[in-house]
Structure 1
Amino acid sequence: MDSNALDTVDRVLHGGTQDPHVIDFSANTNPETPSGITPVYDAALAAARRYPADDYGEFRTAAADYVGCEPAETIPTAGAMAGLRLALSVLLTPGDSIVVPEPSFGEYVREVRLQGATPVGVAHDELLDVEPEAHDLVIICTPNNPTGEAVGTHELYSFVARCRDADTTLVLDEAFLDFTPFPSMAGEPNVVVLRSLTKMFGLPGLRAGFLVATGDLRRRLDAARLTWGVSTPAVAVGAYCLKQDAFVERTVERVSTERERMAERLSTRWEVYPSDAPFLLFDVGSDDLEDVLKTARASGFVLRDARTFARLDNHVRVAIRRPAENERLLDVLGV
């Protein structure tokens, strides 16, 4: 980390609320969790009197099965954010040029700057037109947050090949890929995949995730990871969740159905972005954005003010939740 950056880099604003009296549409986490978690957590908590086994064998195997790679290619992390910090601390040096999508997850820019590197903002829908050889690393979020669109498999494979030819590392944030039919790029050479258990399994406070990389890149990441960096309860519950195929299938079906229904209703009043993710972004047009947010809040709903994202100045993002909750929000918004 570049110590000089610590005086100039601020915290990033995110969605989410601690208010238990409202329904949170501002954070893109599953409102449901797999059944059977509690006994798994309790058993792991009892075992937490000892240090975790630092090889994390069961978790690595479950993660590898989930994304389709070899267990040795996975690197356990305390959530995708810890994985991003680990990856960039290993890959970047001060002065490096790093392509970041705009609008997208604000932590990319922050983490790049903390390493003393230079973020180069590129429109999210123009990323694949970048010349990889002109940069040291490229970050892609698929599906992109907050716009929601995923990169097509053929197009992404072509870009991966171009990055490999240019010897430019590609970091792929697949935090929302679980909700799409697209395969993971896990196991592709010269690619670091970030995965989170937060979005699909509804456990943001658990802090469990992993990276995937191959070859010398994997070796360096694994060598640099923090010893005992993921807690015993996190890896136990994480490994359990990653095996819940029926839960994932039900969630994907619910999100897909509800996303289509919500998009159709919202589009009767506002411009809604196409989405492959468990959220929708829309432009409120001539309506007053503050009024939209306040109207929702007065009825017990928190929406994501998307003005904190680069290139957005009149937008709102809403998560896809349970059907009844979604219906109540749509009624409050008058669509």
Structure 2
Amino acid sequence: MTVGCGAEPAFGASDLQAPDRHGDRDAIPGLIDFAVNVRGTPPAFVLDAVRAGIGDLSRYPSVADEQRAIEAIAASHGRPAEHVLLLSGAADGFEMLPRLGVRHAALIQPSFTEPEISLRAAGVPITQVTLAAPWSLGAGTGDGVPDDADLVVLGNPTNPTSVLHPRAAIEALRRPGRLIVVDEAFADLTLGADGRPEPESLASCDWPDLIVIRSVTKTFGLAGLRAGYLLAAPDVLGRLSAGRRPWALSTPALAALTACLGEQGHAYCAAQAQTVAAERALMLDELARVGLRVAATPAAPFVLVEVPRATEVKRRLVEHGFAVRGCANFVGLGDGHLRLAVRPAEQVRALTAAIGQVTEEMGNGSLA
């Protein structure tokens, strides 16, 4: 089944359904931001690394700059440097996917919209493999992927459901002649039941048919800088990077990547993962207290909640000072869900109070 991917430029219901509309469009200055999944501002050691290179902006990014970032990433995941491709944000990696000569792509949905946008713009036939709620990839899920699909794309944890898929379920999608792309933009903030970091990440796995795309912009508060990386076998990297422009990343972005994947970066990330887990637990308690149902067990720094007439609730919350992420443009979802970034308890209590006021204004009388 191939699904259309049109987008309307005007703001309104059609705009909210456009695949290229992201949470940043809703995070209007002055609103309390539950729409964007970026964790605060960059830590001091990352800002110091970026500032240290500002005096060199008159020169092009050097091979040495790139190599330092590549070596930090490779060491972080126990991979050879030849398995690393630097990205100007994760979206840069999705834009490269059509260079693989894909004949038929299967997208595990609901999920981040950028892979579909890039593949469809290149004329690649797409099958939407839409999981049933609570959207967990399990045994037999691969039965819905067409046998001739030579590319399968999924997120782990998935945006916007916050579901973390088991590694074994992803491995079950492998077939001869097929590449698996895993978007791990939020993997560095996941914890196992035993507290182990990144329990389902495939970043350290050297399968020849695997592509892992990661970003540092969410955890380290660097969305405006655009920095990420891709991990894959050298022959796959060669196909992805063919014809790529020189100096693909700026000097500040390279400095930030090197810092984020270094020793200080690992310590900071581990602390952030613990903070997210604690804040998310308190947030779930507060949402349950006011009768909001969380749609799936969350593992990422955001949760998906069921809200009747979510688009109208989202619009009215702006009037109360809050930005939230609607889900009307995610395949398999619609006007019954909102995605909420994990935030401190005080902000969450203020949000739930505002949602209660909005539902009273709308005459619902109930959050459920």
Q: Calculate the TM-score normalised by the size of structure 1.
A: 0.88
Mapped partners of 2:69, 2:49: distance in 1: 13
Computed over aligned residues only, the root mean square deviation of the Cα atoms, in angstroms, reads: 2.5
Identify the residue that residue 128 of structure 1 maps to in structure 2.
142
Mapped partners of 2:165, 2:227: distance in 1: 25
Identify the residue that residue 202 of structure 2 maps to in structure 1.
185
Cα 1:132–1:54 shift into 2, 3 Å = farther
Give the CA deviation at 1:324.
3.1
Identify the residue that residue 252 of structure 1 maps to in structure 2.
273
Say which SS state the counterpart of residue 331 (structure 2) adopts.
Answer: coil
Identify the residue that residue 281 of structure 1 maps to in structure 2.
304
User: What per-residue deviation string (whole Å, max 9, x for no partner) do you get for residues 146-178 of structure 1?
Assistant: 11111112322333xx33xx2101111111111
Identity %: 31
User: What per-residue deviation string (whole Å, max 9, x for no partner) do you get for residues 270-302 of structure 1?
Assistant: 3212111110111114xx424532443223210
Identify the residue that residue 156 of structure 2 maps to in structure 1.
142
User: What per-residue deviation string (whole Å, max 9, x for no partner) do you get for residues 38-96 of structure 1?
Assistant: 3322221211211112461111111123333222210001010011112x132135xx2
Aligned length: 322
Matched, 1:239 2:258: yes
Q: Is the 8 A contact 1:197 1:208 kept in 2?
A: yes
- The amino acid that maps onto 1:30 is R
Q: Is the 8 A contact 2:27 2:33 kept in 1?
A: no
- The amino acid that maps onto 1:182 is P
Q: Is the 8 A contact 2:283 2:345 kept in 1?
A: no
Aligned match for 1:13, one of 6, 11, 21: 21
Say which SS state the counterpart of residue 85 (structure 2) adopts.
Answer: strand
Matched, 1:89 2:89: no
Say which SS state the counterpart of residue 172 (structure 1) adopts.
Answer: strand
Say which SS state the counterpart of residue 105 (structure 2) adopts.
Answer: strand
**Gap runs ≥5 in structure 1:** none
Q: Is the 8 A contact 1:174 1:184 kept in 2?
A: yes
- The amino acid that maps onto 1:279 is F
Mapped partners of 1:90, 1:290: distance in 2: 36
**Which stretches of structure 1, 4 residues or longer, exceed 3 Å deviation after superposition?**
5-11, 124-133, 222-225
Identify the residue that residue 75 of structure 2 maps to in structure 1.
65
Q: Is the 8 A contact 2:129 2:145 kept in 1?
A: no
Give the CA deviation at 1:260.
1.9
Listed as ranges, the matches of 1:103-252 within 5 Å are 103-124=110-131, 125=135, 127-131=141-145, 133-159=147-173, 162-163=174-175, 166-180=176-190, 181-186=198-203, 187-243=206-262, 244-252=265-273
Q: Calculate the TM-score normalised by the size of structure 2.
A: 0.80
User: What per-residue deviation string (whole Å, max 9, x for no partner) do you get for residues 222-257 of structure 1?
Assistant: 444321100001110121122212211111111111
Say which SS state the counterpart of residue 308 (structure 1) adopts.
Answer: coil
- The amino acid that maps onto 1:220 is R
Mapped partners of 2:27, 2:169: distance in 1: 40
Identify the residue that residue 361 of structure 2 maps to in structure 1.
none
Cα 1:81–1:234 shift into 2, 3 Å = same
Identify the residue that residue 355 of structure 2 maps to in structure 1.
333
**Gap runs ≥5 in structure 2:** 10-17, 191-197, 357-366
Q: Is the 8 A contact 2:167 2:201 kept in 1?
A: no
Mapped partners of 1:59, 1:318: distance in 2: 32
